[in-house]
A and B are shown apart, each in its own frame.
Chain A
Amino acid sequence: MYRDTDLFLEHLRPHYNDAVKYCRALTFRISIEDAEDLFQQSVLKGLENFPKLKEKEKFKSWLFKIITNEFINQTRKAFWKRFIPIDENTNHSRMPEIFHEIEQTEKNNILYHALGMLNSKERACILLFELADFSIEEIKKIQNEKSLSAVKSRLSRARGKLKEQIIKLEASQEIRYKKISSQNLGDLENETLKLI
C-alpha cells in the first residue's frame, strides 16, 4: 500500500513530460520496452520512497536521480537479462503503453541515434543538462560525482561526440535523400516515355 499517492502524482505532473523524454532518450538504442521498464521502475521506486523525501521542492532532481540510477542498474543487468526467462515484474500490473504513442520525427531520430553512440554516463549527463535543464552542480549530485570538473569534462566530451555523430547522420541522410530523388526522376522519365 502506497502512502501519499496523490501528493506524489501532484509532484510528478510538472516533470512528467521531461521524465518520459529522458527515459526514451536514454534507452533509444535498446527498445521501447526498456524505456517503459525504466519509467515504470522509477515511478514505483519513487512512489515507495516518496514519504522519505523531506524537501519536496527537490522532487525533480530526486526523481531524475532515481531514473539515472535505474538506468545504470538496467545497463549492468543487461547481461543477465539474456539468461532470465521470467519477467521480474510479475508481482504487479504493467504500466500502460505510453511510449508506443510517442511518434518520432526525423529530426528526433537523428538526435536519438546520435545520443545512442554515447556511453551511458555521457548520455545521461547531456540529457540532464539540455533536456531537463539541470545545472552542473545538480548533475554532479544526480550522477554522484565528486567534482564539478568531472561533470564539465563529461559534458564537453558528450557534446563533441554528439556533434560528430549528428554531422555523420545528416550527411548519410542527405545521400539517401538524393538517391531516392534521382530514382524517382528516373521512374518519371520511364513513365513519360511509355506514354509517348
Chain B
Amino acid sequence: MKLSNLFKNSNMNDNLNTGKKYWQELKNRNHENTFSKVENWVNNLNSEKTYNFKLNRIQNMKNYFSINKFKLVYSILLLAVVFAACNVPVTQNELIGNAINWKVSKQSTEAIDRINSLPWIDKSKLSVVEQTEGDKTFLDYNLVLEAKSQEDVQKYMQQLQEIKDIAAIQIFPLNQTTKRPLYAAALHSFFRVDVDATHMSDAEVNAELDRQLKEAGIEAVTIDFKKNAQGERMIEIHPTGIIGMEDETKNKDFELTVKDGNNEQFVKTRHKNDASLNLEGKTDDEIKKAIIEDMKKNGNVVKPEDLKIERDAEGHVKVEFTKVNDSKERKMENKIELKVK
C-alpha cells in the first residue's frame, strides 16, 4: 500500500509536485562507488586485534564513567544541593491554638450563667476583666483554646453567638514560630521506629529502643520483658504520659515495630485530647462505647472485649487495645494505646 485513497485525494498532490524534481535529483544520485570502502572497513573490523565488541561489564562501566564524567559531576552536585537544602533550617509557623474574646454586660446575669455552664470552657485558661464604658460595665472574656480543630472553634463560637447580650466575639489564632531542618519539618508530626531484636539481649534491646526513640524525640515510653507460655521473650512497649505533657516532643504520634525472632510487636500511638474524646466522669462501658465509635471513624473495627481500661490515682484513663494475629510463621501483636484524662 503506497497511499490510501483519502490521502491521494487530499491537497497533498500540490505539495507532491513542488518537490518532485528535487526528489528525483536526489534519487538519481549514486554513491555505490564508496561501497567498497565500507566493505573493506567492515571486513577489517574482525581482524582488528584491539577491537573487542563484547567488553566485559567492568570495562563497560569504566568507559561509561569516563565518558559521562560531567553527568556524574552534575549528579553529585545535585545530590549535594538536595542534601544541603534538606539540612537548611526552615521556619515553620505552627498553629498552637486559638484565643476567643467576647464581651458581655455585667448586668446580664442570665448570659453570664450560661457562659459559666459551657462545658468546654477551661477556667484555668480563662481571664475575665471588668471594663467600664460610659455608664455601662462590661465583662471582657479571653479564653485560650489549645490544640482545637477549626471545626470545634467554630462550634464554640456558634454556641456563644446563641447567647443573648454577648457582643464582639473575636477569634485570634495563636501561632508559634519554630526552626528545624527541612527533613525534620517534614517528619515533625510523625515518627517511625524499627528495631530488630532477634539476636539482642534484654539490656541491648532496651538501650537500642531508648536510643532510637530519643533520637526521634520520644521519651515517654516504658519497655517490659516477659516470657510467654512457650518460654519465648515478649517485649512490651507502653507509651506513657501521652496527654498533658509539658514537653511538646513527648506528645507525638509514632509507630514502633520490634521484631524478635518469630514475634513482632507493633505499637501505634494516637493522642486524643479531652475535646475530641471527652471521657471525664464516664463509666468503663461508656468509655468503651466512645472509643469504639472513635476508632470506627478511623477505619478500625474494635470489639468491647478487645479494650482494656485502667485508671490511675490522678484520674487518668488508659485504654489499651490489643489484637494478636497468630500464624505458624509469625505472631504479630498490634497494640494501640490511648491515654486520656
User: Least Cβ distance of A66 to chain B in Å?
Assistant: 15
Report the separation of the CA atoms of residues A105 and B21 in the bound assembly, to the nearest whole angstrom: 13
User: Least Cβ distance of B62 to chain A in Å?
Assistant: 12
Report the separation of the CA atoms of residues A21 and B30 in the bound assembly, to the nearest whole angstrom: 9
B55 neighbours in A (Cβ, 8 Å): 91
Q: Which of B58-72 contact A (CB under 8 A)?
A: 63, 66-68, 70-71
B2 A135 Cβ-Cβ under 8 A: yes
A1 neighbours in B (Cβ, 8 Å): 46, 53
A92 neighbours in B (Cβ, 8 Å): 45, 48, 51, 53
**A/B pair count, beta carbons within 8 Å:** 130
Report the separation of the CA atoms of residues A108 and B26 in the bound assembly, to the nearest whole angstrom: 6
Instruction: Determine if A178 is an interface residue (Cβ-Cβ < 8 Å).
Output: no
A21 neighbours in B (Cβ, 8 Å): 26, 29, 31
B26 A152 Cβ-Cβ under 8 A: no
A93 B48 Cβ-Cβ under 8 A: yes
Interface residues of A: mostly helix, strand, loop or mixed?
helix
In the complex, which residue of chain B has the Cβ closest to the Cβ of A135? B1
Instruction: Determine if A111 is an interface residue (Cβ-Cβ < 8 Å).
Output: yes
A166-B19 contact in complex given A5-B42, A17-B32, A95-B38, C-beta closer than 8 Å: yes
Render A85-125 as a binary contact track against B, CB cut-off 8 A, 1 for contact: 01010011101101001100101101100100000000000
Report the separation of the CA atoms of residues A163 and B37 in the bound assembly, to the nearest whole angstrom: 36
User: Least Cβ distance of B217 to chain A in Å?
Assistant: 45
Render B64-83 as a binary contact track against A, CB cut-off 8 A, 1 for contact: 00111011000000000000
- The residue that B22 contacts in the complex, of A5, A13, A20, A110, with Cβ under 8 A, is A110
B51 A9 Cβ-Cβ under 8 A: no
Q: List 27 A-B contacts (CB under 8 A).
A: A2-B46, A5-B45, A8-B42, A16-B31, A17-B29, A20-B34, A21-B26, A44-B45, A80-B71, A83-B70, A84-B68, A91-B50, A91-B52, A92-B48, A93-B51, A95-B41, A96-B40, A96-B41, A98-B31, A111-B23, A111-B26, A135-B1, A135-B2, A136-B7, A155-B12, A156-B7, A162-B15
Q: Which 6 A-B pairs have the closest CB atoms?
A: A159-B15, A111-B22, A98-B34, A83-B70, A96-B37, A163-B15
B binding-site residues for A, Cβ under 8 Å:
1-4, 7, 10, 12, 14-16, 18-19, 21-23, 25-27, 29-35, 37-46, 48, 50-53, 55, 63, 66-68, 70-71
